[in-house]
Structure 1
Amino acid sequence: MNTRRHALLALLSGTAVLTGCASPQVTDYAQERPLLELDRYFNGRILAHGIFQKRSGEVVRRFTVVMDCHWEGNQGVLDEAFTYSDGSTQRRIWRLTKHADGRYTGTADDVVDEAQGQASGNAFRWNYTLRLPVDGKVYEVQFDDWMFLVDDRVMLNRATMRKFGVTLGEVLLSFTKQ
Protein backbone atom coordinates (compact mmCIF):
# COMPACT_ATOMS: atom_id res chain seq x y z
CA MET A 1 0.00 0.00 0.00
CA ASN A 2 2.90 2.35 0.79
CA THR A 3 4.38 1.75 -2.66
CA ARG A 4 1.11 2.77 -4.32
CA ARG A 5 0.94 5.94 -2.26
CA HIS A 6 4.54 6.85 -3.19
CA ALA A 7 3.84 6.17 -6.87
CA LEU A 8 0.71 8.33 -6.76
CA LEU A 9 2.59 11.11 -4.96
CA ALA A 10 5.40 10.95 -7.55
CA LEU A 11 2.90 11.09 -10.42
CA LEU A 12 1.09 14.08 -8.91
CA SER A 13 4.38 15.87 -8.22
CA GLY A 14 5.57 15.26 -11.78
CA THR A 15 2.30 16.55 -13.18
CA ALA A 16 2.53 19.68 -11.03
CA VAL A 17 6.09 20.34 -12.21
CA LEU A 18 5.13 19.88 -15.87
CA THR A 19 2.07 22.10 -15.50
CA GLY A 20 4.21 24.79 -13.86
CA CYS A 21 6.57 24.72 -16.84
CA ALA A 22 3.83 25.07 -19.48
CA SER A 23 4.46 27.84 -22.00
CA PRO A 24 2.11 30.80 -22.13
CA GLN A 25 -0.50 30.73 -24.87
CA VAL A 26 -1.56 33.82 -26.81
CA THR A 27 -5.11 33.30 -25.54
CA ASP A 28 -3.83 33.91 -21.99
CA TYR A 29 -3.86 37.62 -22.97
CA ALA A 30 -7.44 37.70 -24.32
CA GLN A 31 -8.63 40.19 -21.68
CA GLU A 32 -5.62 42.52 -21.96
CA ARG A 33 -6.06 45.97 -23.48
CA PRO A 34 -5.53 47.87 -25.68
CA LEU A 35 -6.77 45.39 -28.25
CA LEU A 36 -4.12 44.57 -30.88
CA GLU A 37 -5.51 44.46 -34.41
CA LEU A 38 -2.57 44.03 -36.77
CA ASP A 39 -4.39 45.58 -39.72
CA ARG A 40 -4.95 48.75 -37.67
CA TYR A 41 -1.53 48.95 -35.98
CA PHE A 42 0.56 47.98 -39.02
CA ASN A 43 -1.02 50.58 -41.27
CA GLY A 44 1.08 53.61 -42.20
CA ARG A 45 4.67 54.24 -41.15
CA ILE A 46 6.24 52.42 -38.20
CA LEU A 47 9.73 52.98 -36.79
CA ALA A 48 11.42 50.17 -34.85
CA HIS A 49 14.64 49.93 -32.85
CA GLY A 50 16.12 46.56 -31.98
CA ILE A 51 18.98 44.41 -30.80
CA PHE A 52 20.07 40.82 -31.32
CA GLN A 53 21.45 39.03 -28.27
CA LYS A 54 23.28 35.71 -28.28
CA ARG A 55 22.01 33.12 -25.82
CA SER A 56 24.74 34.31 -23.43
CA GLY A 57 23.03 37.72 -23.35
CA GLU A 58 25.77 39.50 -25.29
CA VAL A 59 24.36 42.11 -27.68
CA VAL A 60 25.99 41.49 -31.07
CA ARG A 61 23.83 43.56 -33.40
CA ARG A 62 21.79 46.77 -33.17
CA PHE A 63 19.42 47.96 -35.87
CA THR A 64 16.58 50.24 -36.90
CA VAL A 65 13.67 49.38 -39.16
CA VAL A 66 11.48 51.74 -41.14
CA MET A 67 8.24 50.02 -42.09
CA ASP A 68 5.73 51.20 -44.65
CA CYS A 69 2.53 49.23 -44.16
CA HIS A 70 -0.86 49.12 -45.85
CA TRP A 71 -3.92 46.91 -46.01
CA GLU A 72 -6.61 46.29 -48.59
CA GLY A 73 -9.39 44.22 -47.07
CA ASN A 74 -7.82 41.23 -45.34
CA GLN A 75 -4.50 41.51 -47.29
CA GLY A 76 -1.59 43.49 -45.84
CA VAL A 77 1.91 44.43 -46.97
CA LEU A 78 4.65 45.29 -44.46
CA ASP A 79 7.68 46.70 -46.30
CA GLU A 80 10.61 46.63 -43.85
CA ALA A 81 13.90 48.50 -44.46
CA PHE A 82 16.59 47.44 -41.95
CA THR A 83 19.73 49.46 -41.20
CA TYR A 84 22.28 47.70 -38.97
CA SER A 85 24.87 49.31 -36.70
CA ASP A 86 27.68 48.16 -39.04
CA GLY A 87 26.07 50.15 -41.90
CA SER A 88 24.66 47.14 -43.76
CA THR A 89 21.05 47.16 -44.93
CA GLN A 90 18.37 44.58 -45.64
CA ARG A 91 14.80 44.61 -46.92
CA ARG A 92 11.97 42.21 -46.17
CA ILE A 93 8.46 42.51 -47.56
CA TRP A 94 5.81 40.60 -45.64
CA ARG A 95 2.53 39.73 -47.35
CA LEU A 96 -0.05 39.00 -44.67
CA THR A 97 -3.55 37.56 -44.73
CA LYS A 98 -6.00 38.16 -41.90
CA HIS A 99 -8.25 35.15 -41.17
CA ALA A 100 -11.13 34.60 -38.74
CA ASP A 101 -10.59 34.45 -34.97
CA GLY A 102 -7.46 36.63 -34.98
CA ARG A 103 -5.39 34.23 -37.08
CA TYR A 104 -2.85 35.52 -39.61
CA THR A 105 -0.63 33.88 -42.20
CA GLY A 106 2.25 35.49 -44.03
CA THR A 107 5.02 35.06 -46.53
CA ALA A 108 8.27 36.83 -47.36
CA ASP A 109 11.08 35.96 -49.77
CA ASP A 110 13.41 34.79 -46.98
CA VAL A 111 10.71 32.90 -45.02
CA VAL A 112 10.36 29.14 -45.54
CA ASP A 113 6.79 28.09 -46.29
CA GLU A 114 4.16 30.17 -44.50
CA ALA A 115 4.30 32.01 -41.17
CA GLN A 116 1.45 31.30 -38.76
CA GLY A 117 0.17 33.75 -36.16
CA GLN A 118 -2.61 34.40 -33.69
CA ALA A 119 -3.71 37.65 -32.05
CA SER A 120 -5.60 37.75 -28.75
CA GLY A 121 -6.16 40.77 -26.53
CA ASN A 122 -3.03 42.94 -26.68
CA ALA A 123 -0.77 40.07 -27.82
CA PHE A 124 0.31 38.45 -31.08
CA ARG A 125 2.34 35.25 -31.45
CA TRP A 126 4.03 34.62 -34.78
CA ASN A 127 5.94 31.44 -35.74
CA TYR A 128 8.04 31.02 -38.86
CA THR A 129 11.30 29.70 -40.27
CA LEU A 130 13.70 32.30 -41.68
CA ARG A 131 16.59 31.77 -44.10
CA LEU A 132 19.34 33.63 -42.27
CA PRO A 133 22.62 34.47 -44.05
CA VAL A 134 25.67 34.24 -41.76
CA ASP A 135 29.27 34.47 -42.99
CA GLY A 136 28.45 33.40 -46.55
CA LYS A 137 26.19 30.51 -45.53
CA VAL A 138 22.41 30.42 -45.18
CA TYR A 139 20.81 28.76 -42.15
CA GLU A 140 17.15 28.00 -41.58
CA VAL A 141 16.23 29.16 -38.06
CA GLN A 142 12.89 29.01 -36.30
CA PHE A 143 11.40 32.15 -34.77
CA ASP A 144 8.93 32.24 -31.89
CA ASP A 145 7.86 35.88 -32.06
CA TRP A 146 5.73 37.60 -29.36
CA MET A 147 4.37 41.14 -29.73
CA PHE A 148 2.56 43.14 -27.03
CA LEU A 149 0.71 46.40 -27.71
CA VAL A 150 1.51 48.87 -24.92
CA ASP A 151 -0.63 51.77 -26.18
CA ASP A 152 -1.92 53.09 -29.52
CA ARG A 153 1.61 53.96 -30.69
CA VAL A 154 4.05 51.57 -28.96
CA MET A 155 4.42 47.81 -29.31
CA LEU A 156 7.18 45.63 -27.83
CA ASN A 157 8.46 42.49 -29.53
CA ARG A 158 10.60 39.59 -28.32
CA ALA A 159 11.56 36.82 -30.71
CA THR A 160 13.46 33.68 -29.74
CA MET A 161 15.61 32.10 -32.46
CA ARG A 162 16.21 28.35 -32.45
CA LYS A 163 17.97 25.80 -34.63
CA PHE A 164 17.35 22.07 -33.99
CA GLY A 165 15.53 23.11 -30.79
CA VAL A 166 18.60 24.90 -29.42
CA THR A 167 18.16 28.58 -28.58
CA LEU A 168 20.59 30.75 -30.56
CA GLY A 169 19.51 34.10 -29.17
CA GLU A 170 16.78 36.71 -28.96
CA VAL A 171 15.69 39.72 -30.94
CA LEU A 172 14.19 42.59 -28.94
CA LEU A 173 12.28 45.37 -30.73
CA SER A 174 10.33 48.47 -29.87
CA PHE A 175 7.85 49.63 -32.54
CA THR A 176 6.57 53.21 -32.63
CA LYS A 177 3.69 54.15 -34.91
CA GLN A 178 4.44 57.49 -36.62
Structure 2
Amino acid sequence: MNQRRTLLLAGLLSVATLGGCAGPQVSDYAQQKPLLELDRYFNGRVLAHGIFQKRDGAVVRRFTVVMDCHWEGNQGVLDEHFTYSDGSTQRRVWRLTKHADGRYTGRADDVVGEAQGQTAGSAFRWNYTLRLPVDGSVYEVQFDDWMFLIDDRVMLNRATMSKFGIRLGEVLLSFTKG
Protein backbone atom coordinates (compact mmCIF):
# COMPACT_ATOMS: atom_id res chain seq x y z
CA MET A 1 0.00 0.00 0.00
CA ASN A 2 2.80 2.45 0.84
CA GLN A 3 4.58 1.69 -2.42
CA ARG A 4 1.38 2.46 -4.35
CA ARG A 5 0.97 5.83 -2.64
CA THR A 6 4.62 6.67 -3.26
CA LEU A 7 4.28 5.84 -6.98
CA LEU A 8 1.05 7.86 -7.24
CA LEU A 9 2.61 10.84 -5.48
CA ALA A 10 5.72 10.64 -7.70
CA GLY A 11 3.50 10.51 -10.79
CA LEU A 12 1.49 13.55 -9.70
CA LEU A 13 4.65 15.52 -8.91
CA SER A 14 6.08 14.64 -12.33
CA VAL A 15 2.95 15.90 -14.09
CA ALA A 16 2.94 19.10 -12.01
CA THR A 17 6.64 19.68 -12.73
CA LEU A 18 6.22 19.15 -16.48
CA GLY A 19 3.21 21.47 -16.54
CA GLY A 20 5.32 24.18 -14.94
CA CYS A 21 7.88 23.91 -17.79
CA ALA A 22 5.46 25.05 -20.46
CA GLY A 23 7.38 28.28 -21.07
CA PRO A 24 6.19 31.63 -22.37
CA GLN A 25 3.41 32.06 -24.91
CA VAL A 26 3.34 34.82 -27.51
CA SER A 27 0.19 36.19 -25.85
CA ASP A 28 2.32 36.98 -22.76
CA TYR A 29 3.75 39.92 -24.76
CA ALA A 30 0.43 41.36 -26.00
CA GLN A 31 0.77 44.58 -23.97
CA GLN A 32 4.39 45.25 -24.93
CA LYS A 33 5.35 48.12 -27.22
CA PRO A 34 6.34 48.87 -29.91
CA LEU A 35 3.75 46.87 -31.80
CA LEU A 36 5.33 44.40 -34.23
CA GLU A 37 3.64 44.24 -37.61
CA LEU A 38 5.68 41.90 -39.80
CA ASP A 39 4.34 43.36 -43.04
CA ARG A 40 5.61 46.79 -41.99
CA TYR A 41 8.96 45.72 -40.53
CA PHE A 42 9.84 43.24 -43.29
CA ASN A 43 9.17 45.66 -46.13
CA GLY A 44 12.18 46.95 -48.07
CA ARG A 45 15.77 45.96 -47.30
CA VAL A 46 16.66 44.44 -43.92
CA LEU A 47 20.17 43.41 -42.81
CA ALA A 48 20.81 40.72 -40.21
CA HIS A 49 23.89 39.44 -38.38
CA GLY A 50 23.82 36.09 -36.64
CA ILE A 51 25.51 33.11 -35.07
CA PHE A 52 24.71 29.44 -34.62
CA GLN A 53 25.63 27.95 -31.24
CA LYS A 54 25.73 24.24 -30.42
CA ARG A 55 23.89 23.18 -27.28
CA ASP A 56 27.13 23.50 -25.27
CA GLY A 57 27.30 27.20 -26.24
CA ALA A 58 30.17 26.91 -28.75
CA VAL A 59 29.70 29.25 -31.73
CA VAL A 60 30.18 27.13 -34.84
CA ARG A 61 28.90 29.47 -37.55
CA ARG A 62 28.68 33.23 -38.08
CA PHE A 63 26.71 34.82 -40.90
CA THR A 64 25.08 37.89 -42.41
CA VAL A 65 21.77 38.04 -44.23
CA VAL A 66 20.59 40.64 -46.72
CA MET A 67 16.81 40.48 -47.03
CA ASP A 68 14.78 42.09 -49.79
CA CYS A 69 11.17 42.10 -48.64
CA HIS A 70 7.89 43.24 -50.15
CA TRP A 71 4.16 42.81 -49.58
CA GLU A 72 1.11 42.96 -51.81
CA GLY A 73 -2.02 42.88 -49.71
CA ASN A 74 -1.70 40.01 -47.24
CA GLN A 75 1.03 38.22 -49.28
CA GLY A 76 4.70 38.83 -48.51
CA VAL A 77 8.02 37.69 -49.95
CA LEU A 78 11.21 37.68 -47.85
CA ASP A 79 14.15 36.99 -50.16
CA GLU A 80 17.08 36.09 -47.88
CA HIS A 81 20.72 35.99 -49.07
CA PHE A 82 23.05 34.39 -46.49
CA THR A 83 26.84 34.78 -46.44
CA TYR A 84 28.64 32.56 -43.92
CA SER A 85 32.00 33.20 -42.27
CA ASP A 86 33.56 30.36 -44.30
CA GLY A 87 32.60 32.16 -47.54
CA SER A 88 29.69 29.89 -48.46
CA THR A 89 26.34 31.37 -49.47
CA GLN A 90 22.72 30.31 -49.36
CA ARG A 91 19.39 31.73 -50.45
CA ARG A 92 15.95 31.17 -48.90
CA VAL A 93 12.76 32.77 -50.21
CA TRP A 94 9.90 32.87 -47.73
CA ARG A 95 6.36 33.34 -49.05
CA LEU A 96 4.21 34.56 -46.17
CA THR A 97 0.49 35.02 -45.74
CA LYS A 98 -0.92 37.37 -43.12
CA HIS A 99 -4.14 36.11 -41.51
CA ALA A 100 -6.53 37.63 -38.96
CA ASP A 101 -5.55 38.08 -35.31
CA GLY A 102 -1.79 38.40 -35.99
CA ARG A 103 -1.41 34.89 -37.41
CA TYR A 104 1.03 34.18 -40.25
CA THR A 105 1.78 31.12 -42.36
CA GLY A 106 4.78 30.65 -44.59
CA ARG A 107 6.55 28.39 -47.03
CA ALA A 108 10.08 28.12 -48.37
CA ASP A 109 11.77 25.47 -50.52
CA ASP A 110 13.75 24.01 -47.61
CA VAL A 111 10.84 24.13 -45.14
CA VAL A 112 8.78 20.96 -44.64
CA GLY A 113 5.08 21.78 -44.96
CA GLU A 114 3.88 25.13 -43.67
CA ALA A 115 5.38 27.35 -40.97
CA GLN A 116 2.94 28.71 -38.39
CA GLY A 117 3.39 31.98 -36.54
CA GLN A 118 1.63 34.48 -34.30
CA THR A 119 2.35 38.08 -33.32
CA ALA A 120 1.28 39.77 -30.10
CA GLY A 121 2.56 43.15 -28.94
CA SER A 122 6.27 43.37 -29.73
CA ALA A 123 6.76 39.61 -30.17
CA PHE A 124 6.46 37.03 -32.94
CA ARG A 125 6.69 33.25 -32.47
CA TRP A 126 7.31 31.11 -35.52
CA ASN A 127 7.44 27.27 -35.67
CA TYR A 128 8.60 25.20 -38.62
CA THR A 129 10.63 22.20 -39.74
CA LEU A 130 13.69 22.93 -41.87
CA ARG A 131 15.64 20.55 -44.13
CA LEU A 132 19.20 21.20 -42.97
CA PRO A 133 22.17 19.92 -45.02
CA VAL A 134 25.08 18.74 -42.84
CA ASP A 135 28.16 16.94 -44.17
CA GLY A 136 26.42 15.46 -47.22
CA SER A 137 23.24 14.44 -45.36
CA VAL A 138 19.96 16.31 -44.95
CA TYR A 139 18.26 16.39 -41.55
CA GLU A 140 14.78 17.64 -40.73
CA VAL A 141 15.04 19.83 -37.63
CA GLN A 142 12.39 21.79 -35.77
CA PHE A 143 12.71 25.52 -35.10
CA ASP A 144 11.01 27.41 -32.29
CA ASP A 145 11.72 30.93 -33.47
CA TRP A 146 11.08 34.07 -31.36
CA MET A 147 11.46 37.66 -32.59
CA PHE A 148 11.22 40.79 -30.44
CA LEU A 149 10.92 44.29 -31.89
CA ILE A 150 13.20 46.68 -29.97
CA ASP A 151 12.40 49.85 -31.92
CA ASP A 152 11.50 50.88 -35.51
CA ARG A 153 14.91 49.75 -36.79
CA VAL A 154 16.09 46.83 -34.59
CA MET A 155 14.61 43.40 -33.95
CA LEU A 156 16.26 40.52 -32.06
CA ASN A 157 15.67 36.87 -32.95
CA ARG A 158 16.38 33.70 -30.97
CA ALA A 159 15.59 30.34 -32.54
CA THR A 160 15.96 27.02 -30.75
CA MET A 161 16.72 24.09 -33.04
CA SER A 162 15.79 20.53 -32.01
CA LYS A 163 15.33 17.01 -33.36
CA PHE A 164 13.20 14.35 -31.67
CA GLY A 165 12.65 16.88 -28.86
CA ILE A 166 16.38 17.14 -28.16
CA ARG A 167 17.81 20.66 -28.27
CA LEU A 168 20.64 20.86 -30.82
CA GLY A 169 21.50 24.52 -30.53
CA GLU A 170 20.38 28.10 -31.06
CA VAL A 171 20.47 30.71 -33.78
CA LEU A 172 20.80 34.30 -32.59
CA LEU A 173 20.14 37.20 -34.99
CA SER A 174 20.00 40.96 -34.89
CA PHE A 175 17.92 42.56 -37.68
CA THR A 176 18.47 46.17 -38.71
CA LYS A 177 16.10 48.00 -41.03
CA GLY A 178 17.00 51.02 -43.13
Is TM (by shorter chain) over 0.5? Answer: yes
Alignment of 1:128-143 (within 5 A): 128-143=128-143
Q: Higher mean Cα deviation, 116-125 or 20-29?
A: 20-29
Equivalent residue number for residue 122 of structure 1: 122
Secondary structure at 2:28 match in 1: helix
Secondary structure at 1:155 match in 2: strand
Distance in 1 between residues matched to 2:116 and 2:133, nearest whole Å? 22
Equivalent residue number for residue 107 of structure 1: 107
Distance in 1 between residues matched to 2:111 and 2:14, nearest whole Å? 38
Aligned amino acid, residue 71 of structure 2: W
| Cα shift readout 1:93-139 (whole Å, capped 9, x = no counterpart) | 00000000000000000000000000000000000000000011111
Gap regions ≥5 residues in structure 2: 1-5
Equivalent residue number for residue 82 of structure 2: 82
Shift of 1:17: 3.6
Equivalent residue number for residue 3 of structure 2: none
Indicate the percent of aligned positions where both proteins have the same amino acid. Answer: 84
Distance in 2 between residues matched to 1:145 and 1:91, nearest whole Å? 19
Distance in 2 between residues matched to 1:85 and 1:97, nearest whole Å? 32
Question: Per the alignment, do residues 176 and 21 of structure 1 end up closer, same or farther by CA in structure 2, a change over 3 Å counting?
Answer: same
How many residues are matched?
176
Shift of 1:23: 1.2
Alignment of 1:5-154 (within 5 A): 17-154=17-154
Equivalent residue number for residue 167 of structure 2: 167
TM-score by length of 2: 0.92
Aligned amino acid, residue 137 of structure 2: K
What stretches of structure 1 move > 3 A for 4+ residues in a row?
Answer: 6-20
Shift of 1:19: 4.5
Aligned amino acid, residue 33 of structure 1: K
Aligned amino acid, residue 101 of structure 1: D
Distance in 2 between residues matched to 1:94 and 1:32, nearest whole Å? 27
Gap regions ≥5 residues in structure 1: 1-5
Distance in 2 between residues matched to 1:116 and 1:8, nearest whole Å? 38
Aligned amino acid, residue 28 of structure 1: D
Aligned amino acid, residue 73 of structure 1: G
Secondary structure at 2:90 match in 1: strand
Shift of 1:22: 2.2
Aligned amino acid, residue 22 of structure 2: A
TM-score by length of 1: 0.92
Question: Per the alignment, do residues 137 and 12 of structure 1 end up closer, same or farther by CA in structure 2, a change over 3 Å counting?
Answer: closer
Distance in 2 between residues matched to 1:9 and 1:139, nearest whole Å? 40
Secondary structure at 1:39 match in 2: helix
| Cα shift readout 1:67-116 (whole Å, capped 9, x = no counterpart) | 00000000000000000000000000000000000000000000000000
